[in-house]
Amino acid sequence: MRTRVPDYYPRFRCLAGACPHSCCEGWEIVIDPASAQRYRALPGPLGERLRAALRTEDGEDFFALTDSGRCPFWDADGLCAIHRALGESATSEVCRSHPRFIEEYGPLREISLCASCPEACRLLLSADGPLTFSERRTDEPEEPADPWLAPLLAVRETAFALLADRAQPLYARFVRLLTLAAAAQEYLDADAAEELPVLCRTWPAPEPPVPSGGEGLFPRGWSVLAGLEILGGDWRALLARAERTVPGAAPDKALERIAAYFLFRYFLKTVNDGDLLGRMQFVLFSTLTVERAASLVPLPEALRLYCREIEHDEENLDALRAAFQPDGPLPPAAFLRTLTV
C-alpha cells in the first residue's frame, strides 16, 4: 500500500499540556468498543473512575464531559490521566489518532493533520513554499483501486500545479481551479472518467465569462455558515461580526497552502459520489472564508476556528456542499463573481 502525507507531517508532535486549545475540551470523547471493553474490566480506582464516566447512547460509548466541558480524565496539568497511568495505547482510538484524518482509496492511504489542532495549523502555515507531499510503500494488504481513482488523481495533480503557479494572481488561479473542476464534472456526469487524463494534458482552457448581475459569495456565505451547527462561542462571536470582514487580509502564499490543504483532504472523496465540482467549491469557499475571517482575528486562529467548526461535523460538510448546487445560495456563478471583481 502507498501512504501519502503532507510535507510537514513528520514534524508533528502533540503539544499535550502546553496546547493552547486542547482537544480534551469542548468535544465529546467517543470510546471505541475495544477500549470500552477494557475500561469496564479494569480493576482499582482508575477502573471505577472510567466506569463512572462511561455513557452509552445509540450503541456508541463516550465519556460524559464535566460541567466545564472538559474530558473527565484531562488533569489540571493538561495531561491525560489514562495515558499517565496506562500508556498511550490505553487511550481511545479517537484520542490516539487526533488530529489525523486517514482516508483509504484501495491501494492508496492518505493522512492529513486537521488544522483545528493548533500545532498542525502552525506547521501548515510555517513555510512559504507550495505544499508538497511525500509517499512511502508498505507491505500491507490493499483493496483494488476504484476505476475513478487514477483519473481523479490526474485531475488533482493538475489542480495542484495550477494552484502553485505563482506567475498568476491567486484569484486567477482559483478561477482556473473552478473551471477545471466544472469541465471534469461534465466527464464524470457522462460516465467518461477515463477521458480525464486527456483533459488534463490539454489544459488550460479559455477563461469562463464573468456572470452579469447577481451576488458574490459574501455576505451570503456568512449567513450559510451561521445556519450550521456551531460548536464554540468564539466562532459564534466571529460570525456576529462577519459583515465587517474584507478580502486581502492574509498573504497569498499562506492562502495557497491552505487551499492545497483542503484540496488534499477532500478532492479524492469524489470517488464516493461523483461530486467533484462541489468539492472544489468547498476548497475555494473554505479558503476565501478563512481569508476574510483573518481580517478579524490572526490567520492561524481564523483557520483553526473554521476547521474546528466544519471539518469535524459531517452534517455541516454536507450542508455546505448542498449550498453549492446551481439552485443553492452559493452557486458556481457566485464564485466567479467573487473571484473576478
* Tens digits of residue pLDDT in 32-63: 999 999 999 999 999 999 999 999 999 899 99
What is the predicted pLDDT for the residue at 310? 97
Q: Which of 179, 37, 215, 19 minimizes the C-alpha distance to 99?
A: 19
Instruction: Render pLDDT for 91-103 as a digit per residue (tens, 0 to 9).
Output: 999 888 999 999 9
What is the predicted pLDDT for the residue at 206? 72
Q: What single string gives the DSSP state of each residue in 257-295? A: HHHHHHHHHHGGGHHHH--HHHHHHHHHHHHHHHHHHTT
Mean predicted confidence (pLDDT) in 119-129: 97
Task: Round to whole Å and give the CA distance between 84 and 95.
Answer: 14
Task: Look at phi and psi of residue 301 and say left if phi exceeds 0, alpha if psi is from -120 to 50, else beta.
Answer: alpha
Checking if the pLDDT of 180 tops 80, the result is yes
Task: Round to whole Å and give the CA distance between 229 and 241.
Answer: 18
Least confident piece of the model among 117-131, 134-148, 182-196, 204-218: 204-218
What is the predicted pLDDT for the residue at 209? 75
What is the predicted pLDDT for the residue at 308? 96
Checking if the pLDDT of 133 tops 90, the result is yes
Instruction: Render pLDDT for 57-81 as a digit per residue (tens, 0 to 9).
Output: 998 999 988 888 889 998 888 889 9
pLDDT mean across residues, the chain: 93
Residue 147: which pLDDT band, with cuts at 50, 70 and 90? very high
Residue 203: which pLDDT band, with cuts at 50, 70 and 90? confident
Least confident piece of the model among 13-17, 118-122, 240-244: 13-17
User: Residue 327 is which amino acid?
Assistant: D
Least confident piece of the model among 12-26, 203-217, 265-279, 288-302: 203-217
Task: Round to whole Å and give the CA distance between 258 and 283.
Answer: 9
Least confident piece of the model among 89-103, 112-126, 289-303: 89-103
Checking if the pLDDT of 205 tops 80, the result is no
For residue 90 the three cell numbers come to 490505553
Mean predicted confidence (pLDDT) in 146-166: 97
Mean predicted confidence (pLDDT) in 18-25: 87
Mean predicted confidence (pLDDT) in 122-130: 97
Helix, strand, coil % (nearest 5) of the chain? 50, 10, 35
Percent of the chain with pLDDT over 90: 79
Task: Round to whole Å and give the CA distance between 333 and 211.
Answer: 6
Mean predicted confidence (pLDDT) in 328-338: 94
Checking if the pLDDT of 9 tops 80, the result is yes
Helix (H) or strand (E) holding 101: strand 100-105
What is the predicted pLDDT for the residue at 193? 97
Checking if the pLDDT of 17 tops 90, the result is no
Assess contact for 242 and 290: CB atoms under 8 A: no
Checking if the pLDDT of 213 tops 80, the result is no
What is the predicted pLDDT for the residue at 107? 96
Mean predicted confidence (pLDDT) in 185-199: 96
Mean predicted confidence (pLDDT) in 292-298: 97
**What would you measure as the largest C-alpha separation in the chain, in angstroms?**
70
